[in-house]
Amino acid sequence: MIGLLAIASYASSAYRLSSASPVLWIRQGLQSSYTASLPNVTIFATGGTIAGESTSSTLNSGYDVAASMQELVDAVPEMLQYANVGGFQVSEVGSTNMNQTILLELHKAVSAEVLKSNVSGVVLTHGSDTLEETCFFLYLTVDTEKPIVCTAAMRPSTAVSADGPANVLQSVVRATAPNARNRGAMVSLNDKITSAVFATKNHANNPDTFYSTDAGALGYYLDSIPYFYFEAAKPIGTRYFDISDPYALPQIDILYSHQDMNPGLPNASVALGAKGLVFAGNGDGGVADLAYYAAESIHNAKGISVVTSHKVPNGWANTDGFVIGSAHLNHVKARILLQLAVYEGLDDEEVGALFDALRPNPWLI
């Protein structure tokens, strides 16, 4: 049986954004009428490679972000056997250009959608490059038991072996699955199910790019059906942030630690408006001495929180003096958590406790 598709567009000068309109279940093209026995899933499309269109089916780069959500759904009519699908075209950008304007509108729309009693779950299609950031942001800011499934593609929709259609199909199916509830936002690519807290992109070109660091995957797909390894649970230390209708989130800058690092970078970031700093640190969060001392002066003078993460894929970043270790979070996710903490008005001690809570409780003899 086949369900329905409705698209509500956002509109503004830059990204065609506005407040979310209600999803309308209407007949489209050759699709049959709304099927009352099927659950309802809402897709939020933002652009990215999954919406990419190239001049050649053999090209996986040099494409335009042009495919509409209607085209994404038309490419996988099988999904309509599992759900009535509606949605919003939020933006048409590569995820490198995702910004606060889009992110806050997306948060508002997703939050409103999951409150609807007739909506089973939501799916977000997004560029893979910053998918982990947006999905982690939604994990922390949308308070719901319903599945929020974030997906992407590594090959444009016009490629011979485009991976987007299967990823969208699996995500829609997962958004209807009862055993996908109470897990927070999740990433879904290449037959893998990962938590937004741990998922990170690991390869610039290969479809098998997202993995789940030391924590491991939540589950996998077989014949497009999700199977989970664990009962539903939230990672230790994660919490919800209420950002109901913020005008803007505070600026948090990431500084990449390296040999001969310019010690003027921390001061430059703060002078340009940063309300917090995150170092992508060496090893377990190490920072070049001169940059460390410069950040310490800023911290002492302005009370700005400074967090260090690890630029290597796995491991833990440790607290060192005034610098707060990000635990298992990489630098882009540490930025999001610090941003929400500063928005909430937490002081430096409270920020430290927030990151420290991410560490599993040790077994003490």
* pLDDT at residue 1, as a whole number: 31
Largest separation between any pair of C-alpha atoms in the chain: 67
* pLDDT at residue 22, as a whole number: 34
Helical pair 100-114 and 131-141, crossing angle rounded to 10 deg: 50
Question: Facing residues of 323 across strands?
Answer: 320
For residue 323, what are the contacts with CB-CB under 8 A and spacing of at least 6?
Answer: 279, 285, 287, 292, 295, 296, 306, 307, 308
What's the CATH fold of domain 7-228?
Answer: Rossmann fold (3.40.50)
Contacts 24+ apart (CB under 8 A), 9-17: 9/88, 9/89, 10/88, 10/89, 10/90, 10/91, 10/105, 12/101, 14/101, 15/90, 15/91, 15/93, 15/101, 15/102, 16/89, 16/91, 16/92, 17/90, 17/91, 17/101, 17/102, 17/105
- Residues labelled catalytic: 49
The CATH number corresponding to 252-356 among 3.90.1640.30, 3.40.50.40, 3.40.50.10710, 2.40.50.180 equals 3.40.50.40
CA distance 325 to 308: 5
Low-confidence ranges of the chain (pLDDT < 50): 1-32, 55-60
* pLDDT at residue 178, as a whole number: 94
Please say whether the beta carbons of 140 and 239 come within 8 A. Answer: yes
* pLDDT at residue 58, as a whole number: 45
* pLDDT at residue 245, as a whole number: 67
* pLDDT at residue 64, as a whole number: 54
* pLDDT at residue 15, as a whole number: 29
CA distance 246 to 169: 33
Domain ranges of the chain: 7-228, 252-356
Q: Would the CATH topology of 7-228 be identical to that of 252-356?
A: yes
Q: Which among 314, 259, 310 is positioned nearest to 282, based on CA atoms?
A: 310
